Copies of this chain bind each other. A is one copy, B any other.
C-alpha cells in the first residue's frame, strides 16, 4: 500500500459520490420539470435543457458537505441526497450570476440565458430575444433555488437531523445573495483595499464553496464543537485559496479548461483579488499603466494581454499563487491535527488539492 494507491482509492470514492449526486439532482429536476411543465408545449420545449444543466458541474459543494457528514456519521444515501441539494443552489447562483455579469459562456457551453434567447429567436416570438433569455434564466434560477430546498427537505433524513442543518443552510443561502450584491457594489475602478476584497472573497466564494458546505454536513451529522471548529478553519483557508486560483484562472487560464472566455472578469471590471493585489503592489510607472487599463471602455484581446503582463510584472501573480499555496498547506495542517476519521480526512486532503490546482 503506497501513498499513491491511497490517493487513488480516495479519488475513486469521490468520483463515485459525485456520480450519485449527479443522478440525484438530474432525477429530481427531471421529476419537477415533468410535474410542472407537462401539457404546456411551448414552455416545456424551453426547459428541456434544465436536467442536463444541473448535472454538468464538478459537484464540489456536495462533496465538501458529504465529507463533513462523514466526519461524524457513516455512509448514508439520504445524507448524500441532502448534500446534492447544494448543487441545485449552485445552479441557481450560476443561472442568475451569468445574467447579471453578462457572461455568455459557462462550462464550455452557452450560458443558460443565451440558450433561452436562442430558443426565443428561433421561434420568432415577439419582443426582445435577449430580454426573454435573461428573464427565463432568472426564473430557472428561482426554480433551482426552490427545488434545492425541496430536495433537502425530502432527502429522507429524519426531521430532527435536518433541524440541525437548516440554520447553516439558511445562512448559506442569504450569504450567497448578499455576497453577489456586494460584488455588484464593488467596482474595480474604485479599487477597494485588499482587506475589503478579502472580506467579499470570504463571504461569497470561500464560505459558499467550501466552508459552509462542510459546516452544513458536519451540523447534520451532529459533529462536536471541536470538529466543527477545525472544519471551519480548514474551510475558510481552502475557500480563499480556491477563489485566488479562480481569479487567476479568469486572467491566465486556458478557456478550453475553464469553459469561459479569458478576461471576462476584467471586462466586467470586477474588483477581483488579482486586480486589487496588482494595484497594491504596483510601483509608480506601473500605476500609470494600471490607471490606463482601468479607464479603457472596451477590454479587447490586446488589453487582456496588457493586463496579463502588468499583473505578472508587479509580482501579483506569483504572490497570489503563494498566498493560495500557503493557505492550502495551513489547511492541511489543521486537518492533520483534528484527528478526523481516515476516509473524510483523505477526501478533504484530496479536495483541497483538487479545487486549488495550479493555473494551467
A residues whose Cβ falls under 8 Å from a Cβ of B: 32, 35-37, 40, 42-43, 46-47, 92, 96, 99-100, 125-127, 131-132, 135-136, 138-139, 141-143, 145-147, 149-150, 153, 159, 163, 166, 170, 173-175, 177-178, 180-182, 184-185, 187-190, 269
Contacts and interface: CB of A to CB of B under 8 A. Distances in A.
Contact of A145 (B43, B132, B142, B187): B142
Nearest to A32: B174
A144 to B, nearest CB: 10
Contacts of A190: 125-126
A116 to B, nearest CB: 10
Given A96-B138, A139-B180, A185-B42, A146 B127 contact: no
A138 B189 CA distance: 24
Contacts of A99: 135, 138
A139 B181 contact: yes
Contacts of A184: 132, 135-136, 139
Given A125-B185, A126-B189, A146-B174, 17 more contacts: A32-B174, A36-B175, A36-B178, A42-B185, A43-B182, A96-B142, A100-B135, A126-B187, A132-B184, A136-B181, A136-B184, A139-B177, A142-B145, A145-B145, A146-B170, A147-B174, A150-B170
- The list of the 4 closest CB pairs from A to B, nearest first, reads A126-B187, A100-B135, A126-B189, A142-B177
A42 B62 CA distance: 32
A43 B35 CA distance: 38
A184 B173 CA distance: 27
A40 B200 CA distance: 10
A143 B40 CA distance: 29
Contacts of A185: 42-43, 46, 125
A131 B102 CA distance: 10
